[in-house]
Structure formats: C-alpha cells, structure tokens
Amino acid sequence: MVLASFVRFHTNPTPHYVSDAMIKDVHATVDYLATHQSPEVRQLAERVVNYIQDRRLEIVDDYFWTSPTYFWDMPRYIFKELSTSDLVISKGDANYRRLAGDLNWPPTTSFEDVVSYFPTSLLALRMLKAELPLGLTPVQVSRLDNLDPDWKFNGRWAVIQFWHK
C-alpha cells in the first residue's frame, strides 16, 4: 500500500533549537542506519536512499522555518508550495505557537477555527511547553488543572491535532 507518492521534508538551514534538524543531519542519520547491525534497519536506510534518489523524498530547507513569523504571514512562495500538498505534518512547540499566532486563546478554542487559514490539511504534533493549548473540552481542561497545575507548560503533556481542509 502506498500512502504517499512524494514527500517533501522541510529542515532548518541552521539550528534554532538544539533539536532542530538540518539536511546534513538527515543524511548523517540515514548513513548511520545503513551501518546498523539489524538487517531491517539497514533495509530502511536503503529505502530512504532510494526514495531520495528517485525524487520521491525531497529534503529542503528555508530560513522561514526558524523565523519568528506566524504561519498566517508565511511568504507567498511557501504558502503556494504547501498548498500543493495533501497533508502537512507540523512538529514542535514553536511551530504550534506560530500556527496559533502565539496568542492567549482559551484552551477550549477550536484548533480548526484557529488554523483555518492554512493552505492544506494539517496534522500538528506538540509537547505542551507554553500556555497555548487548543481544542480541549472544558472537562479535559478541568481534569488537567486538577491533575497537574503546570500541565500547559511543563512538557509532560502533548497534543496531536488534525484539521482537514
């Protein structure tokens, strides 16, 4: 089963955070996996290399990804590129905050309403490290407030949210 015929992986040209990946990091990881003792891991590395060579996987970078620019103000050329995708997967607290404008939305604010400007379907993966959760029910917020008063920003909780354009 083929889930995607083409994937564009956006990296950063320079690291903004210690965990930011650059193109060279992706290649170094694939090189490392290619020498792994497990044949299945080596096979995965070979598949990734083949995808890159066949241009089914493209790894690109742009300074937009490390800029403080909110996603609703993304450069036109990035907007156009993303609009050709069936799905964008966004990872990380900083990207999530940029998706939501880093505004103080009530946690019950609909994720879909906030990101409806985005040019295509969006899956956001985020560890909560800042007071900006979206899309929760009042019951969830109350439960989290009682369970862990610092839940919004201590990095112990996460959200996976999807919006379909």
In the prediction, which pLDDT does 2 show?
81
In a domain, 57, yes or no: yes
**Per-residue pLDDT reduced to its tens digit, 4-50:** 999 999 999 998 888 889 999 999 999 999 999 999 999 999 999 99
Same domain, yes or no: 72 and 52 = no
* Residue of 86, 65, 62 lying closest to 5 (CA atoms): 86
| Separate counts of helices (H) and strands (E) for the chain | 6, 5
Structural domain including 99 reads: 68-165
In a domain, 107, yes or no: yes
Q: How many domains does the chain have?
A: 2
- In the 8-state DSSP scheme, what is residue 44? H
In the prediction, which pLDDT does 107 show?
96
**Per-residue pLDDT reduced to its tens digit, 57-113:** 999 999 999 999 999 999 999 999 999 999 999 999 999 999 999 999 999 999 999
- Rounded to an integer, what is the distance from CA 27 to the centroid of its chain? 19
In the prediction, which pLDDT does 56 show?
97
Same domain, yes or no: 43 and 101 = no
Beta strands in the chain (DSSP E): 7-11, 57-61, 88-91, 122-127, 158-163
In the prediction, which pLDDT does 1 show?
83
In a domain, 74, yes or no: yes
Q: Which two tokens stand for residue 58?
A: 């493209």
